Every structure is written in structure tokens, then in C-alpha cells.
Amino acid sequence: MKMKVVFLNLLLVVAMAVPASAHFQMIYTPEIAKTKGAETDLKLVFTHPYEAGHTMKMGMPEEFFMLHQKGEEGKTKKYDLKKLLKPITWTSLTNSGEAYEAKLPKKIVRSMGDYTLVLVPAPYYEGEEEIYIQQITKTYMNVGGLPGNWAAPAGLKTEWIPLVKPYAMWTGMTFKAQLLSDGKPVPNADVEVEYMNHEPDMKNNAFKKEAKSEAPHDAFVTMGVKTDAQGYVTFAIPKAGWWGFCALGSGPDKEFKGKELSQDAVIWIKAVDM
Amino acid sequence: MKNIIAKIVVVAGLIVLSATAALAHSPLCSCFDNGDGTVLCEGGFSDGSSASGVKIYVRGDSGAVILKGAMNENSEFEFNKPAGHYTVTFDGGEGHSIEIDGSDIVE
């Protein structure tokens, strides 16, 4: 009996010792700075990227679209990508979860300019905390180096507005972005930052087992920063690869189906070595 | 005399300013075969500015210009694909020109 109690206590300690990594909605494609337009594969996964940890079951997104603009004076074209979504199963290092993929035809990723990918997922019910989480997520692509609308708001309930070209970051550069809720800056917001530490395997819909870095302490798995009085964050990028920024509960919607809703804003950027 | 010096200073200032502007951005041009016998070229500059009005030359195998025109208000220029080898020149002025070989222009 005593042994059983000791064992249960040990199990509890081990369970609690698992680093608390953060939820991150991903929109992933390997190459975002494209020389020429090309067919583009995207994976939408709701997971814990640093540790390639538990992957959550995504429902059919509320919205998934792309905004394209060629040149700063060009007109913004909107493409609905929801009809291109196909369900997949994504395998993390600890489980498998329902996710989505989309193959963008070359005809819509042909022109030079900026492409903003926007995902408004269905709220996800986190049973343990009895809350819903909805991470409104953006990432960017560029073709041919001609800039467009990368610094323009997409008109989302909550979103990050980058002040640095998010597809043209060298490792070591400082990323700066402003957090908006209903178009207004959000001061003093809690922002979680994670590195995509396990490269996604596009063919097998899984994270690769090899980690790119080792966290010396749990606090390095999910880093914390806060927005300043005008809603800005700055963050120097220490390593090549993908970096995600998630502002917790920054959106205006606070309730869904009678439960608390955390409406978060996520942005993904990619840095490359010189 | 004072007038002449003032003029020289203004002209020198203008040269410096225009030289800075010319160096600040680079030309960008991309062409693709529409697959229906036409080719579409689009252009711009690395600072996001428009290429509207930039001259375009299409040259045949001998190097002679077979077609000339300018980028439209959307920074685009469309033309019928020439038979045989050809090149496209985006002529944004000295140091701002790009030549694209027809063999690199694909669907």
C-alpha cells in the first residue's frame, strides 16, 4: 500500500515536471522568400512547437485566406483558401492530432509581391482549464523581392503588425511588431515566444525527432515578453529558423459557448543565417 | 559672383540627392509564359515603388528590337511570345536595367 502511494506521488511529480510549453497555432511552409512563384504546400497544426509536444485536434477553421499585394501602391487581392483545406493527421513526438494541409496552385502564387496568410481557427476546447482557445495566426511569403502589404493590418480582431519585413530576417536581427485588438494597440500584454525546435517533415506530416537546440531551463522553452505602452514588442532572433509570437487573450472576444475564451494573436517569422 | 556660387551649391545638392535616390532601390522584373501564346512581365523596385512607365524592349536572336513598350499602371507589360530565341529588357535607366533570357520565361 505504501509502495503504491509512493509510486503515485512519484508519477504526479514526474507529470508536473514536464515543462509547461505553450500552445501555438502554426501555418507552416518551408520557404517563404521565394525567387519565383511556385506551387506551395502549407500545413496547419495546433501544437507545442519547441518540444514537438502534444498536438491538439483542430476543427474546420472559421477562415483561411491569403492577401496578395504587388508593390506598395498595388491593389490587395484576397484569395479564399478554405476550399483548399484537406484534413491530415500530424504526428508529434508524443501523440497524433488532427490538422489540415493545403496546396496553393502556382497560378495564385505566381506574381511578385507579398502574400499574407491568415488563419482564424475554430475555438479549441481545453478541457483541463475549461477554456476555449482561438489563435488568430498570420505568416508571410514573398516572391521576387518586391514588397507589398507586409506592414498593413489584415483587419483581424487581434493581430500583430510587423515593423520589420517578416520574410527577410537574418539571424541576429531584431524583430519588432505591434499588437492590435480591434485595430487598437494593446499595452502590457503577455506574449509567449517559441522556437520551432523540431523541423516539420512535410512528406510524413510529422515533426522530425532531432532537436535543433536544448533548453538549459524550462523558462527557455517558452520565453516571455510584454508589449510596451504602445503595444510594441522587440525581440532579437538568436538562431536561424522559425519563431512564433503569441499574445495571450489579446482579442476582444472573451467568451465562447458560455466558457471563457482566450482569443490570441500569433505571428510566425523565419530567420536565416548570413 | 554670389549668385553663381549659390547656383553651384544648389546644382551640387541636387546631384547628391539624385545619386542617393538612384542607389537606394534596385529594379525587379519577372516574366512568365501565360501558356496561351502570350508573355506577362511585371516589375517594380525593391522599395515597393511602381514600375509604371518603365520602358520594355523585346529583342530577337540578332539582338534587334522587335517590340518596345512600357509597363502599364499595374507595372505590367504583356506581349505575344516571339518565335525563336528572345530577350526582355526592363529599362529602368542606368544601373536599373534587367535583361531576362526568353529560355528562363516559363509557365
Pairing relationship of beta strands A77-80 and A63-69 according to DSSP bridges: antiparallel
- Contact A71/B32, CB-based, under 8 Å? no
| pLDDT reading at B8 higher than 90 | no
Q: Which residues of A181-198 are buried (b: 16+ CB within 10 A; e: fewer)?
A: beeebbeebebbbbbbbb
A interface toward B at CB cutoff 8 Å? Answer: 36-37, 70-74, 110-113, 143-148
**DSSP bridge partners of B99:** B89
pLDDT in the model for residue B96: 86
Q: Which chain B residues contact residue A70 at CB under 8 A?
A: 42, 44, 74-75
User: CA-CA distances (angstroms) from residue A167 to A72, A243, B56, B91?
Assistant: 16, 11, 29, 28
Smallest CA–CA distance, residue A119 to chain B, in Å, is 26
What residues in A contact B46, CB-CB < 8 Å?
Answer: 145-147
pLDDT per residue, tens digit, chain A (274 aa), is 455 544 444 444 444 444 456 899 999 999 999 999 999 999 999 999 999 999 999 999 999 999 999 999 899 999 999 999 999 999 999 999 999 999 999 999 999 999 999 999 999 999 989 999 999 999 999 999 999 999 999 999 999 999 999 999 999 999 999 999 999 999 999 999 999 999 999 999 999 999 999 999 999 999 999 999 999 999 999 999 999 999 999 999 999 999 999 999 999 999 999 9
Closest partner residue to A146 among B28, B32, B74, by Cβ? B28
Q: How many CA atoms lie within 13 A of A223 on its CB side?
A: 17
Contacts of A237 (CB under 8 A, 6+ apart): A169, A171, A172, A173, A174, A175, A243, A269, A271
Contact B71, B53 (CB under 8 A): yes
In this prediction the pTM is 0.87
